[in-house]
């Protein structure tokens, strides 16, 4: 019976590790709401946990020595953490509210520091209680030989399971319910622990005299464990967490682009800790303390070499489900990091056994070492996240960590002559001192590119790459292509500014939520007297837009105010009012990003609008399935009941107007306002302001008010789409064709659309042609996606005939004509005439203009060649061939 109770206690502490890490992943997920998509949330969460565990373990060592019934205190601590976990969502909301009141006007650095400090304090208390539990349980099992590595290892293995458990709970139950379920499990563990405490036999109860004897023994043992020993093991903890933060940044960049990354990395990390601790029970202390620093530093260096091949494998790998992706990517990550983490796990039991010549005090030494290591880990996490990553970069931070690991490990080595190993170590890390180029990380998509700019901070790694044709891409954390300088992409981005400004009719100010390359903002340059403001969280993007994209964005930053800040905090803290607010396209499946499509975010934008002001949120159709799109539509409609939807190519614009008058119809005079605005701008600027397409084309892109039905909305505190979209993506449910088909069934008739927009009977024919041209183009693209090529070709010709001014219909038809050019030439058609026919359809078709330019050069017609070249340079200023 006595043995069974010990087994139950070991099970309880294993479950305690599971619960603790589940909390860590869930709370890190909640912190992504505060910090957005960045390493900040991970750093703050890990630092709070490790600092609490360390302080709790150090204090708990003395507490356990004085406590007659440590199990009862352990049970109370587990129950207290569970209750605190249930209250923490409310505390998060309260802290968020007061921070926004008292820190309304601070800059981004102070804002992040204040948030980090407040949230660190909030999470420190439960982590402190978790740290206290370790020496208490260890003291209860101290009479069992080998209890330290057993307890430490089982707790870590439980933590590994706890790290991935939220990945199953979150998509099915949401954040709030998941926290409650884990807290309920914590209460169960507390009840079992209390039952064990009550069931202890009377002869096992410690008398006060025995407690005093044990306390005296502990004080004697403290003299054996001097501060250099604790400091060196704290340095190992700092190095371990610096490596973990580095792995999270690097492999999170190339693996799953969601909150799942942290859970997978923590699971692998703790699996190694657990296995190493259990293995450490059987390793000879003197021999292995000389080997461990060499092995750990060597494999940490090797992990840097694996980044490029792992990234290349992930780029071409196909996974049938999210679970399959998690298993495969987690397995690869385990191969990369397990050798290092196993060493970390083995270090503690080996050290504790070496220091304690006898078993007496073994638990005290182990708990103090554990506490020092955890505090060092917390400091290493903060140092890496807030200082070293922005200052040195991720790979350099990891190299510094593995060198720190090796040097601190030397303190325990019986023979210091292994210090020579630092020479081959430096030779190994020298070739991977810098981050690999994008071409080696993404060899399929970007094989012909070269890196021309990279900026790294704790928000993201920003790349600007140049492709073989001279076009540039802005990449945030590698896999997210934020913007391109390709002429078609430029027009699409500029349209994101054109539509909202045209909807307003007389805009005096515009706010861009996100700067990116600045190309979207450049779509506003034709509008007279416009006051432009952009809020951008990424300092790398701000610098890249000014230096590397100025030729394409018209040096727009010279004509606008750029604020380096978080968009959500800016909307909450600013007192400015804007006639137009533009929400840029982003990846909604990423942790924290979906908050930008929440009811709360839409409400913040609405408050910052002037009376009759317009907010337009853009969505990329290839990033949603129908269900997720309906969630966003319902969320937007909750804030803007009279919302309108426009479709521009493969992008959807959710448009809402602020009106304090009940019963107002925001689109009632839209046709009249848009025409008046373009006339007021004049022929040249009006042409540029509409992208050369005119008012009727833009009005023809109206899509009514799609009915998304009843259901859940996207709430910041109960997010939906970032959990459902990753699963949908791997299931293959994110299908542009399905989304387009659903939208086509939602579109109103031309007569209803004309009534909504205030189109007069006289103008109805012009509107109807543009309206049907848009629909025919969409149906053509749908047919193309579904493999009905003949029907697609026929429909795009009808679309162009209905409205030749529509850029996308003209471009698609021109592309089709260019693709059939070889057949036309075989039939005897003159090449110049064929290319000119393409230009007649779409005057800005770059490839057709290039062909005419080359023909003119070959024919010696210098005047015509220069004319084509000038036009090409205007359309594609970065085209390498033109220079």
Per residue, what are the HEC states of 477-527? CCCEEEEECCHHHHHHHHHHHHHHHHHHCCCCEEEEECCCCCHHHHCCCCC
Cβ neighbours around 323 below 10 Å, total: 13
Both tokens of residue 102?
Answer: 């008292």
Instruction: For 588-635, give the DSSP string.
Output: TTSTTGGGGGSHHHHHHHHHTEEEEEEEEEEEEGGG--HHHHHHHHHH
Q: Is 702 helix (H, G, I), strand (E, B) or coil?
A: strand
Q: Checking DSSP bridges between strand 531-536 and strand 509-513, what pairing results, if any?
A: parallel
Taking CA 187 as the corner, what is the angle to CA 181 and CA 189, rounded to the nearest 5 degrees? 110
d(CA 212, CA 389): 48
Distance between alpha carbon 737 and the CA centroid of its chain, in Å?
26
Tell which residue, 465, 480, 488, 467, has the closest CA to residue 544: 465
Task: Give, in order, the Cα–Cα distances in Å from 247 to each of 306, 513, 594, 770.
Answer: 11, 30, 24, 52
The reported pLDDT for the residue numbered 160 is 84
Both tokens of residue 125?
Answer: 């208390």
Instruction: For 278-297, give the DSSP string.
Output: HHHTTS-HHHHHHHHHHHHH
Cβ neighbours around 552 below 10 Å, total: 27
Most confident of 185-199, 237-251, 630-644: 630-644
The reported pLDDT for the residue numbered 224 is 52
Please indicate whether residue 242 or residue 199 has the higher confidence score (pLDDT): 242
Angle between helices 147-198 and 260-280 in degrees, nearest 10: 100
Tell which residue, 459, 453, 491, has the closest CA to residue 473: 453
Q: Which residues pair with 450 in a beta bridge?
A: 466
Both tokens of residue 105?
Answer: 């006007």
d(CA 259, CA 673): 45
Lowest-confidence segment of 40-44, 300-304, 644-648, 709-713 by average pLDDT: 40-44
Task: Give, in order, the Cα–Cα distances in Å from 614 to each of 419, 467, 644, 694.
Answer: 66, 37, 11, 20
Tell which residue, 246, 236, 237, 233, has the closest CA to residue 384: 246
Tell which residue, 236, 273, 234, has the closest CA to residue 57: 234
Both tokens of residue 286?
Answer: 């003197």
With a CB cutoff of 8 Å and minimum separation 6, the contacts of 472 are 452, 464, 465, 466, 484, 485, 548, 549, 552, 878
The answer to whether 837 touches 818, Cβ cutoff 8 Å, is no
Both tokens of residue 364?
Answer: 């005290």
* Average confidence (pLDDT) over 711-731: 82
722 pLDDT above the threshold of 70: yes
d(CA 421, CA 290): 11
The reported pLDDT for the residue numbered 207 is 46
Q: Which tens digits make up the pLDDT trace of 560-593?
A: 999 998 888 888 888 899 999 999 888 787 766 7
Q: What percent of the chain has pLDDT over 90?
A: 47
The reported pLDDT for the residue numbered 222 is 44
Residues present in the chain in total: 883
Radius of gyration of the chain (CA): 31
Q: Is 657 helix (H, G, I), strand (E, B) or coil?
A: strand
Which pLDDT band, with edges at 50, 70 and 90, does 102 fall under? Answer: low
The answer to whether 194 touches 72, Cβ cutoff 8 Å, is yes
The reported pLDDT for the residue numbered 213 is 44
d(CA 149, CA 641): 61
Q: What percent of the chain has pLDDT over 70?
A: 88
Both tokens of residue 14?
Answer: 């294993």
The answer to whether 42 touches 28, Cβ cutoff 8 Å, is yes
44 pLDDT above the threshold of 70: yes
* Average confidence (pLDDT) over 345-372: 70
The answer to whether 205 touches 68, Cβ cutoff 8 Å, is yes
What does pTM read for this prediction?
0.87
The answer to whether 585 touches 619, Cβ cutoff 8 Å, is yes
Q: Which tens digits make up the pLDDT trace of 261-305?
A: 667 777 888 888 888 888 877 777 677 888 889 999 999 999 999
601 pLDDT above the threshold of 70: yes
DSSP secondary structure letter of residue 161 = H
The answer to whether 803 touches 700, Cβ cutoff 8 Å, is yes
Q: For CA atoms 193, 195, 201, 207, give the dihedral sign.
A: positive
Both tokens of residue 825?
Answer: 């030439």
In the chain, count H helices and then E strands. 36, 11
* Average confidence (pLDDT) over 548-554: 95
Q: Which residues pair with 647 in a beta bridge?
A: 652
Burial grade of 314 (CB within 10 A; 0-12, 13-18, 19 or more): buried
Which pLDDT band, with edges at 50, 70 and 90, does 663 fall under? Answer: low
- Taken in order of first residue, the domains within the chain and their CATH numbers are 2-432 (1.20.1250.20), 820-883 (1.25.40)
DSSP secondary structure letter of residue 715 = B
Q: Checking DSSP bridges between strand 578-583 and strand 561-564, what pairing results, if any?
A: unpaired
Both tokens of residue 663?
Answer: 């019963």
DSSP secondary structure letter of residue 419 = G
Residue 808 parent element (H or E) = helix 807-819
The reported pLDDT for the residue numbered 351 is 82
Q: Which tens digits make up the pLDDT trace of 490-502?
A: 999 999 999 999 9
Please indicate whether residue 779 or residue 224 has the higher confidence score (pLDDT): 779
d(CA 450, CA 169): 41
Lowest-confidence segment of 135-149, 468-482, 498-512, 620-634 by average pLDDT: 135-149
Q: For CA atoms 498, 502, 504, 509, give the dihedral sign.
A: positive
Tokens 């602020």 belong to 658
Which pLDDT band, with edges at 50, 70 and 90, does 23 fall under? Answer: confident
Most confident of 146-155, 199-208, 310-319, 365-374: 310-319
* Average confidence (pLDDT) over 707-722: 84
d(CA 840, CA 819): 16
The reported pLDDT for the residue numbered 508 is 96
The reported pLDDT for the residue numbered 223 is 42
Please indicate whether residue 553 or residue 354 has the higher confidence score (pLDDT): 553
The answer to whether 416 touches 479, Cβ cutoff 8 Å, is no
Task: Give, in order, the Cα–Cα distances in Å from 739 to each of 273, 310, 625.
Answer: 46, 33, 6
Q: Is 718 helix (H, G, I), strand (E, B) or coil?
A: strand
The answer to whether 340 touches 243, Cβ cutoff 8 Å, is yes
723 pLDDT above the threshold of 80: no
Instruction: For 11-23, give the DSSP string.
Output: HHHHHHHHHHHHH
The reported pLDDT for the residue numbered 211 is 44
Cβ neighbours around 306 below 10 Å, total: 18
766 pLDDT above the threshold of 80: yes
The reported pLDDT for the residue numbered 798 is 97
Cα separation of the two ends of the chain: 85
d(CA 180, CA 178): 5
Q: For CA atoms 655, 661, 667, 671, give the dihedral sign.
A: negative
């Amino acid at each position: 019976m006595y043995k069974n109770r010990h087994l139950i206690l070991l099970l309880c502490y294993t479950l305690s590790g599971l619960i603790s890490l589940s909390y860590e992943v869930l709370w890190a997920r909640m912190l992504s709401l505060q910090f957005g998509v960045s390493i900040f949330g991970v750093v703050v969460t890990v630092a709070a946990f490790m600092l609490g565990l360390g302080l709790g373990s150090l204090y708990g060592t003395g507490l356990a020595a004085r406590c007659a019934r440590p199990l009862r205190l352990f049970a109370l601590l587990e129950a207290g953490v569970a209750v605190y976990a249930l209250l923490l969502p409310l505390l998060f909301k309260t802290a968020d509210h007061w921070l926004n009141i008292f820190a309304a006007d601070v800059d981004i650095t102070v804002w992040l520091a204040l948030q980090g400090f407040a949230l660190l304090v909030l999470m420190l208390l439960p982590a402190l209680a978790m740290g206290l539990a370790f020496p208490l349980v260890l003291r209860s099992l101290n009479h069992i030989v080998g209890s330290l590595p057993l307890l430490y290892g089982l707790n870590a293995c439980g933590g590994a399971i706890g790290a991935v458990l939220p990945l199953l709970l979150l998509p099915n139950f949401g954040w709030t319910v998941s926290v409650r379920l884990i807290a309920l499990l914590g209460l169960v563990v507390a009840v079992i622990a209390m039952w064990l405490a009550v069931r202890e036999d009377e002869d096992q109860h410690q008398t006060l005299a025995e407690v005093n004897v044990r306390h005296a023994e502990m004080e004697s043992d403290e003299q054996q464990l001097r501060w250099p020993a604790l400091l060196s093991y704290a340095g190992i903890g700092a190095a371990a967490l610096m490596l973990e933060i580095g792995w999270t940044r690097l492999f999170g960049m190339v693996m799953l682009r969601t909150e799942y990354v942290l859970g997978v990395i923590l699971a692998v990390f703790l699996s190694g800790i657990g296995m190493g601790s259990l293995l450490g029970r059987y390793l000879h202390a003197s021999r292995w303390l000389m080997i461990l620093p060499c092995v750990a530093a060597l494999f940490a260096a090797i992990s840097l070499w694996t980044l490029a091949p792992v990234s290349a494998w992930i780029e071409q790998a196909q996974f049938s489900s999210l679970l399959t992706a998690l298993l495969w990517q987690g397995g690869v990550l385990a191969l990369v990091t397990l050798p290092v983490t196993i060493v970390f796990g083995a270090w503690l039991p080996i050290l504790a056994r070496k220091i304690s010549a006898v078993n007496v005090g073994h638990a005290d030494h182990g708990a103090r070492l554990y506490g020092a290591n955890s505090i060092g880990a917390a400091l290493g996490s903060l140092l890496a996240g807030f200082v070293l990553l922005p200052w040195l970069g991720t790979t350099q931070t990891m190299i510094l960590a593995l060198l720190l690991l090796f040097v601190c490990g030397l303190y325990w080595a019986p023979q210091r002559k292994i210090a020579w190993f630092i020479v081959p170590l430096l030779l190994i890390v020298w070739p991977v001192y810098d981050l690999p180029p994008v071409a080696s990380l993404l060899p399929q998509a970007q094989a012909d590119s070269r890196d021309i700019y990279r900026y790294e901070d704790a928000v993201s790694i920003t790349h600007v790459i140049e492709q073989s044709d001279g076009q540039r891409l802005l990449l945030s954390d590698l896999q997210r292509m934020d913007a391109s300088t390709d002429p078609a992409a430029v027009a699409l981005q500029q349209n994101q500014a054109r539509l909202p400004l045209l909807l307003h009719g007389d805009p005096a100010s515009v706010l861009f939520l996100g700067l990116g390359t600045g190309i979207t903002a450049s779509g506003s340059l034709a509008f007279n007297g416009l006051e432009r403001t952009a809020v951008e969280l990424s300092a790398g993007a701000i610098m890249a837009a000014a230096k590397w994209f100025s030729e394409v964005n018209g040096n727009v930053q010279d004509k606008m105010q750029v604020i380096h800040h978080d968009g959500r905090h800016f909307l909450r803290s600013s007192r400015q009012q804007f006639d137009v607010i533009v929400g840029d396209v982003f990846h909604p499946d990423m942790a924290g990003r979906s908050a930008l499509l929440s009811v709360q975010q839409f409400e913040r934008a609405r408050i910052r609008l002037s009376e009759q002001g317009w907010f337009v949120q853009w969505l990329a159709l290839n990033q949603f399935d129908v269900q997720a799109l309906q969630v966003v539509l319902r969320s937007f409609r909750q804030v803007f009941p009279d919302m309108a939807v426009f479709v521009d190519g493969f992008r959807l614009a959710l448009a809402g107007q602020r009106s304090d008058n009940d019963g107002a119809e925001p689109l009632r005079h839209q046709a009249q306002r848009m025409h008046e605005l373009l006339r007021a701008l004049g022929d040249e600027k009006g042409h540029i302001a509409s992208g050369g397409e005119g008012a009727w084309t833009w009005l023809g892109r109206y899509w009514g008010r799609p009915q998304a039905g009843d259901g859940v909305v996207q709430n910041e505190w109960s997010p939906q789409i970032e959990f459902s979209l990753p699963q949908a993506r791997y299931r293959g449910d994110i299908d542009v064709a399905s989304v387009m088909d659903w939208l086509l069934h939602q579109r109103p008739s031309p007569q209803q659309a004309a009534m909504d927009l205030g189109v007069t009977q006289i103008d109805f024919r012009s509107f109807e042609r543009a309206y049907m041209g848009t629909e025919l183009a969409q149906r053509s693209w749908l047919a193309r996606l579904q493999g009905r090529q003949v029907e697609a070709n026929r429909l795009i010709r009808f679309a162009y005939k209905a409205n030749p001014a529509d850029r996308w219909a003209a471009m698609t038809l021109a592309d089709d004509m260019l693709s059939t050019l070889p057949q036309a030439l075989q039939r005897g058609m003159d090449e110049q005439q064929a290319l000119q026919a393409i230009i007649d359809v779409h005057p800005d078709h770059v490839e057709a203009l290039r062909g005419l330019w080359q023909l003119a050069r070959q024919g010696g017609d210098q005047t015509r060649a220069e004319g084509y070249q000038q036009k090409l340079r205007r359309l594609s200023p970065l085209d390498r061939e033109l220079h």
